Amino acid sequence: MAKMPKRSDEITTEIGQGGETHQTSGGAAARMTTNQGLPISDDQNTLTIGPRGPQLLEDFVMREKITHFDHERIPERVVHARGYGAHGYFQPYKSHADLTKAAFLQKPVEKTPVFVRFSTVAGSKGSFDTARDVRGFAVKFYTSEGNYDLVGNNIPVFFIQDAMKFPDLIHAVKPEPDREFPQAQSAHDTFWDFVSLMPESMHMLMWVMSDRGIPRSFRMMEGFGVHTFRMVNAKGDMKLVKFHWRPKLGTFSLIWDEAVKISGADPDFHRRDLWTSIERGEFPEYELSVQVFTEKQAEKFDFDVLDPTKLVPEELVPLTPLGKMVLDRNVDNFFAETEQVAFCPSHMVPGIDFSNDPLLQGRLFSYLDTQLSRLGSPNFHQLPINAPKCPMANLQRDAHMQMEVPKQGRANYEPNSLDPTTPRENPKTGFVSFPAPEAGDKMRTRPESFADHYSQAALFFKSMTEPEQRHIVGGLSFELGKVKNLAVKKRMLGHLQLIDTKLGDQVAKNLGMEGMADTLKPAVVPRNAKPSKALSQYAKAPQSIAGKKIALLTTAGVADKFYGALTKAAKAEGAQVAVIAPKSGPIMTNQGKEVTPDDFLAGAPSALFDCVIVAPADDQVETFLKEAAAIDWIRDAFGHLKVIGYTPAAEPLIKKAGIGTDEGVLKLAGTDFAEFITQAKKHRIWKREPTLRSF
């Protein structure tokens, strides 16, 4: 018998070039097999003739592995491709039987499992998290009466009124087709060309250009069902509703320069934030509420509740809280769960129903269709993440990737008399559409009641605090500044004049285009609405640093007492301290306690944190004085309006950074962080902003 040559992996292991044999001494690892269950003897080397000879087509083990790999990707979502998900539960505060018979809203003791996926819209799967964009906020409730998908956004209105325009909107915002750029950006000609020709987009544009377009965290983001839905109780009484999600931590945003810098420093900023919070046991929580109103009330509103470019001001209809959602578990596998989850607004349960909103009606078609293309089979509901957690039975059969083995033998049809166990419909407990009377001519038209495109855009702008208004001006100035076509810019300036002359004038000034706005004639003259405080994030922001991150820029020899007191103070507020040191290896405090930094200076710019403290050991500031990253760290923290605390030892660095002074730049005395925390609770030092940038 020929002597077997020594396996190459046995040799390479010794010289550290990979190809280890993975023989664990404890024998805990599972036996590796092919997809057919055949034990694999060698997962490192392809079958060849001799050690340096040609490879054999016969190597079915290698071919199976490579073939599977070649087919690993499925088409990414055409919109909302970049997203991140988590598991959790929903629990109602009390029974809402008066409003709806939906099973998951009946018993306060009952927790309904949920899966949530947050997303950006325009960018592809590998794009970055902090793009200026709408965020998806899609929730799948695995209820006892079937899966209910509330597929919403973080903005309560939409760009268009009719689903027919959706492909155009998305074509316009996606990378331009000849050059395939820009990625994940609306700041380019085709997007602004399209929206400048669509007055109905103006309200939504105000929201996307505002702070809402660059959220601080998925944990600090509101969500909205957007469309008007119906809720129906057991007696058949129907009310109209609008859905709202409110984050327990409050709604916060980045500022533009920060978002741009984060996209380079940590493209995964939002997913990392969600993942780490859940891993740390700090479970994000959101309150679900509805605005409830009757059709009669709706008729009196000065907008049409079927128009998805309009919101119902909370001053008109306040929120009724229904319950809370807690996200308490990360996925085990991103692809199997987050990528394969298939949301469809048509996944409905008894007690909730659709309205005639034309955008919603179009969506009821689109999502099922898109899942067929993405997941490749009408059996996508069998994937574990999509499968209902209640019993499911019908007579749909076969198709690609059928995972089930139906036990009904002969009778896969009904009615049948051969098999009494076949699933049958139930008129009493089954889903019954609300019997809304409908009549009319067939036509392709837009209701006249949808024609006022400026009043609510103006209402939104007017309802913002001063910094929020500044950011809308800044957002528009930046995006239109990137547009090359002059006619598009002039047209947009014309729309802005109709929304608010102050807004229009400021953007024109920032573009260097004063007096160049087109004169546009609105279909309906905008009304002068009262501001709605509920629309402003900062007017209702909690004074809190819960869920936020304090960065401590420090060195070896940091005072043990200082570090301990800061960690304690942060914990008491529900915040987290991230230690940033010059290098990533462990450092010792002045008492010899070992601290492993969360990150190292060059890899963790201050843009990644909510507020910062600079506290090198007494004799270590020199380390920072020669580091551009340290100087930028301080300058950016100041430029991003953050609260900065520093110890006396850090003074030379603060000086060198040349930042200004205000109540947000604090020299820390000893271990008392009370003033630092009070200032940090303001989120940012807004009054610093006008002194730093014109837009």
**116 binds ligand HDE per the rule CB under 6 A:** no
Range in contact with ligand HDE (rule: CB under 6 A) among 145-153, 260-268, 516-524, 605-613 = 145-153
> Taking a C-beta distance cutoff of 8 angstroms, is the pair 163, 359 a contact?
yes
Least separation, in Å, of the C-beta of 234 and ligand HDE?
A: 28
State the maximum Cα–Cα separation within the chain, in Å, rounded to a whole number: 96
Give me the numbers of helices (H) and strands (E) for the chain, helices first please.
19, 18
8 Å CB contact between 278 and 327: yes
Nearest C-alpha neighbor of 688 from the set 644, 646, 651, 640: 640
- Smallest gap from Cβ 444 to ligand HDE, in A, equals 16
The yes or no reply on residue 174 touching ligand HDE (CB under 6 A) is no
Which of the stretches 107-115, 148-156, 416-424, 533-541 binds ligand HDE when contact is defined by CB under 6 A? 148-156
| 467 to 82, 539, 691: CA distances (angstroms) | 29, 11, 12
> Shortest distance, CB of residue 410 to ligand HDE, whole angstroms?
37
Residue 244 phi/psi, 5° resolution? -135, 135
Contact status: 275 vs ligand HDE (CB under 6 A): no
- Give the burial string for 583-602 (b: 16+ CB within 10 Å, else e): ebeebebeeeeebebbbebb
Site for ligand HDE in 217-236 (CB under 6 A): 226
Closer residue to ligand HDE (CB): 168 or 237? 168
Q: Check binding of 153 to ligand HDE (CB under 6 A).
A: yes
Site string for ligand HDE, 6-35 (x = CB under 6 A): ------------------------------
Indicate the residue among 289 and 647 with the shorter CB distance to ligand HDE.
289
Task: Report d(CA 494, CA 414) in Å as an integer.
Answer: 61
DSSP 646-682: E-GGGHHHHHHHT---STTEEEPPTT--HHHHHHHTT
Answer yes or no whether residue 78 interacts with ligand HDE by CB under 6 A.
yes
Specify the residue, 218 or 478, whose C-beta has the smaller distance to ligand HDE: 218
Side chain identity, residue 441: D
Q: Which amino acid is at 561?
A: K
The tokens of 487 are what?
Answer: 């006619």
Shortest Cβ 136–ligand HDE spacing (Å): 3
Residue placing its CB nearer to ligand HDE in the complex, 358 or 504: 358
- Considering beta carbons, is residue 207 or 624 the nearer one to ligand HDE? 207
Amino acid identity, residue 590?
Answer: N
Instruction: Give the pairing type, strands 576-581 and 599-600.
Output: parallel
Which residues are identified as catalytic?
80, 153
Q: For residue 476, count CB atoms less than 10 angstroms from its CB and return exposed for 0-12, middle for 13-18, buried for 19 or more.
A: buried
Q: Identify whether the C-beta of residue 89 lies closer than 8 Å to the C-beta of residue 326.
A: yes
Decide if residue 172 touches ligand HDE (CB under 6 A): no
Rounded least distance, CB 204 to ligand HDE, Å: 9
Site string for ligand HDE, 345-364 (x = CB under 6 A): --------------x--xx-
Q: Which is nearer to ligand HDE, 226 or 480 (CB)?
A: 226
Residue 503 in contact with ligand HDE, rule: CB under 6 A? no
Tell me the three state secondary structure of residue 597.
Answer: coil
Count, residues near ligand HDE per rule CB under 6 A: 25
Residue among 82, 87, 101, 117 that touches ligand HDE (CB under 6 A): 117
Q: Which stretch binds ligand HDE (CB under 6 A): 76-84, 474-482, 612-620, 641-649?
A: 76-84
- Between CA 162 and CA 147 the distance in angstroms is 26
Does 47 bind ligand HDE (CB under 6 A)? Our answer is no
SS3 441: coil
Q: Cβ 615 to ligand HDE, closest distance in Å?
A: 41
**Spatial contact of 340 and 386, defined as CB atoms under 8 Å apart:** yes
Which residues lie near ligand HDE (CB under 6 A)?
77-80, 83, 117, 119, 136, 138, 151-153, 158, 163, 166, 226, 308, 341, 343, 359, 362-363, 366-367, 370
